Amino acid sequence: MDNGLSVNGQLINISSFVKSIIQLVIHWYKPIGRTIGLLLGLGIVCDAQPIVQRPESACDAEALLTSRQPLVEIRPETIIMKPWQGKHQVYGIFMLPKAVQSREPAILKVKHIGVYCDVVNRSGFKREGVIAKRNHFLMVDHIHTRTAFWFLLLGKADLIQNPDNWTLIYVDPAAPRPPRF
């Protein structure tokens, strides 16, 4: 029994030919498989919505979200997405009433990305064409630039640019406060 194949007049052993094809496929598809696995894993992680504690933040997200204090949820006035300009170039601009104190705990929830623990910071009265209404100020809250790049690579930048996916949560300033000790 002949276990060969004739190609251009040369006899090729079928079993070694098949082995070399399989090795070639494994060699090239292994990195592609890993990349696909990584992207699928990223998709699962992004949907998990973890609470991200920023190192500079003093707030406790879980405590705030589960507290009995009345919370206010607002949407951004606009979303700025320019990750190619460097760090801190993907953010929402929120308009808050002046009654909200600086350094108060705040939570930024971005659907499909995560929940960030932060504090209220005043960013002035005018930014990127947004002007604060009377008795209000603007607050800028960022997401990680690397996250925005991932979403750009996945073709899902529209999820970040949609203001309906962003929510800033803070304690209602009109609510009575528990005493601090």
Of 12-21, 133-142, 152-161, 162-171, the range with the lowest mean pLDDT is 12-21
Is the pLDDT reported for residue 3 higher than 60? no
Closest by alpha carbon to 89, among 31, 130, 144? 144
Enter the pTM of the model. 0.65
Residues 21, 92 within the same domain: no
Stretch 6-31: mean pLDDT: 61
Q: Mean pLDDT in the chain?
A: 76
Token pair of 50 as six digits: 């973890």
Residues 55, 42 within the same domain: no
Three-state helix/strand/coil letters over 102-117? CCCEEEEEECCCEEEE
Closest by alpha carbon to 46, among 142, 169, 117, 146? 146
Residues 112, 159 within the same domain: yes
Token pair of 145 as six digits: 């630039």
In 10 A of CB 12, how many CB atoms? Answer: 13
Domains contained in the chain, number: 2
Tens-place pLDDT, residues 133-143: 999 999 999 88
pLDDT higher at 11 or 116: 116
CA distance 32 to 92: 35
Is the pLDDT reported for residue 147 higher than 80? yes
Whether 181 maps to a domain, the answer reads no
Q: Where are the alpha helices (DSSP H) in the chain?
A: 14-48, 61-66, 145-153, 157-161
Burial of 90 (0-12, 13-18, 19+ CB in 10 A): buried
Whether 176 maps to a domain, the answer reads no
Whether 66 maps to a domain, the answer reads yes
For residue 97, what are the domain limits? Answer: 50-171
Residues 67, 138 within the same domain: yes
